Amino acid sequence: MKKGFSGRVAGVLVLVLWAAGLVYAGVCQSISKEKAEEIARYIADVIVAGRGIVAEHQDLINDPKKGEKGFTPEYVERLIRERFRQMTGKDISELDPEARAVVEQVIAAAKMSVQMNQKRINQPGKGFKGYIPAVFGRETGQILKARCNIQIKQTTFKYRNAYNQPDPFERQVLKKFEDPNWPKGKGYGAFVNGKYRYMRPIYIKKACLKCHGEPKGARDIAGRIKEGYKEGELRGAISVSFPVK
């Protein structure tokens, strides 16, 4: 893939959505250095929540007997907000204005991804739709990058697509997460070349095993090779990056 191609695709995507009336209102603002770590954690929380919701609804999304599934942007938004509260102990409305503005932008991007995929999600007579957590995360990240210059990436040593291949910083942090002494679930952040970079480990949940579990080497529903993970094992990380004021 040529350098900058994904960014151009994301930009075109947002223009198309804007023309279709699907771009949600809101203003993207620069993130202050003092709030960088907190906001990065919140961004990762929203992405982890959304990925989990998509994973847990795979049976519904891929049900060939149903047309309209009810898996709408509004439905996913409600679940994300509920899960965010469970994960952080805070309601999004209770966040300070700077953090809340960014979180709302991430949720808006997540809703846009779900909206873009309504036709295939609701297609009757077809089983596997291809709308999986990785697709949700990638599209949400592309939209957010085009709108707010916030980069989100799902990365792992066992990547399935070149897009997910870890860069040098991400490789170093993934090695930290693999260390048995690293506290499970703890993220890692650092200021690098004028940006704040943060990574949040993600672990295999029950809903992930259909595609990433055993038997290792078998084909999953999408025709990809299963990695043979077990529930609770480290899958990789959500990588967040943005410039700071």
Bridge partners of 196?
Answer: 191, 242
In tens, the pLDDT along 65-114 reads 999 999 999 999 999 999 999 999 999 999 999 999 999 999 999 999 99
Average pLDDT, rounded, for the chain: 88
pTM of the entire structure? 0.86
Q: In what order do the strands lie in the sheet with 188-192?
A: 151-155, 234-243, 195-203, 188-192
pLDDT of residue 13: 52
In tens, the pLDDT along 58-77 reads 999 999 999 999 999 999 99
Run of H or E including 27:
none
pLDDT at 162 over 90: no
* pLDDT band, residue 216 (cuts 50/70/90): confident
Number of helices (H), then strands (E), belonging to the chain: the values are: 9, 4
| Rounded CA Rg of the chain | 18
Q: Where are the domains of the chain?
A: 5-18+32-243
